[in-house]
Amino acid sequence: MDYSYSGSEGFTQTYPQSFEELLEAPCKVINLERNPERWEVAKERIKRAGWKNVERVVGVDGKDKGALQKEWEKLGNPAFAGWDKEFVEYPGKQGCFLSHVKLWKKMIEDKIPYMVVLEDDVLFHPKWSEIAPGYFANTPKNYDLFYMGAQMEFMSNYHIDCGPVFCTHAMVVTYTGAKKMLEMVCGKKGGVYTIDCMLIDMMKYKLMNHGNMERFPFYWYVWNGQKFYPTEIQNMPKGWTKRNAGLIFQDESFGSEVRVW
């Protein structure tokens, strides 16, 4: 496995310096055209959580073969990794992949310094407004992305940590992060596969190299909300509870557009 990164020449990365600035950042919500009811619920929840600049982004629908083909062509029709059979079996995974990649490309093209990226099944910790500002204030301002909600694949006693995680439902992405992730997914030897699996492999590669900045300058953080659990809404059937290790959860009641559970 090998990764490289070409840098962001001519661009000075900036970060929101306060929780208020984060809430004023562009907040993009991925939602499928055929799911307007999910958008209405998500929009209300996200605005109630404090975001001011909320915008619906029409996601790539895995059930629309024409849309998938069109978006894959824009990426040069990369090969699929042979081991990830679900990436073919569940085309919703391809739609999720392409939806996030489109936002990264948009950030790079428009030189957007940072962006909040949410999926339309987000559900906030009941004490979000009380505890999220403290989490943000203590998040180091050197990240390529950070997860406000995720499935943590490591044990931690810290509120904010750096370790491998799954899920893409609640992230803050920077310009430099978008550039690094886009280069990684487009240049990956062996083909592309499920997006959060590609990202977690990227994280594991960094950790295995003991944070070697010359080889792989990639920074991410994850919010660990487990000190504020359990909460009634955090516990969900079908194993979804494990996805809710942060302060923003995935609402199981909506079901999944990515794969069958």
pLDDT in tens, 22-74: 999 999 999 999 999 999 999 999 999 999 999 999 999 999 999 999 999 99
Mention every residue, 6+ apart, whose C-beta is less than 8 A from residue 26.
Answer: 53, 55, 112, 114, 115, 116
Please tell me whether the overall predicted TM-score, pTM, comes out greater than 0.85 for this model: yes
Tens of pLDDT, residues 174-220: 999 999 999 988 888 899 999 999 999 999 988 887 655 556 688 99
Segment 10-33 mean pLDDT: 95
φ and ψ at residue 222, rounded to 5 degrees: -135, 135
| pLDDT tier at 2, thresholds 50, 70, 90 | very low
Segment 225-242 mean pLDDT: 79
Query: What is the 8-class DSSP label of residue 59?
Result: P
Segment 108-136 mean pLDDT: 97
Q: Which residue has better confidence, 234 or 70?
A: 70
| pLDDT tier at 7, thresholds 50, 70, 90 | low
| Whole-number pLDDT of residue 259 | 78
Cite the DSSP H helix spans in the chain. 19-23, 36-48, 65-74, 86-89, 91-110, 128-137, 175-186, 195-208
Q: Which residue has better confidence, 144 or 10?
A: 144
Tens of pLDDT, residues 79-110: 999 999 999 999 999 999 999 999 999 999 99
Segment 135-162 mean pLDDT: 96
Burial class (CB in 10 A: 0-12, 13-18, 19+), 152: buried
| Whole-number pLDDT of residue 1 | 39
Rounded (5°) CA angle 17-19-21:
60
Residue located via tokens 């792989």: 216
Return the CATH class of domain 19-254.
alpha beta
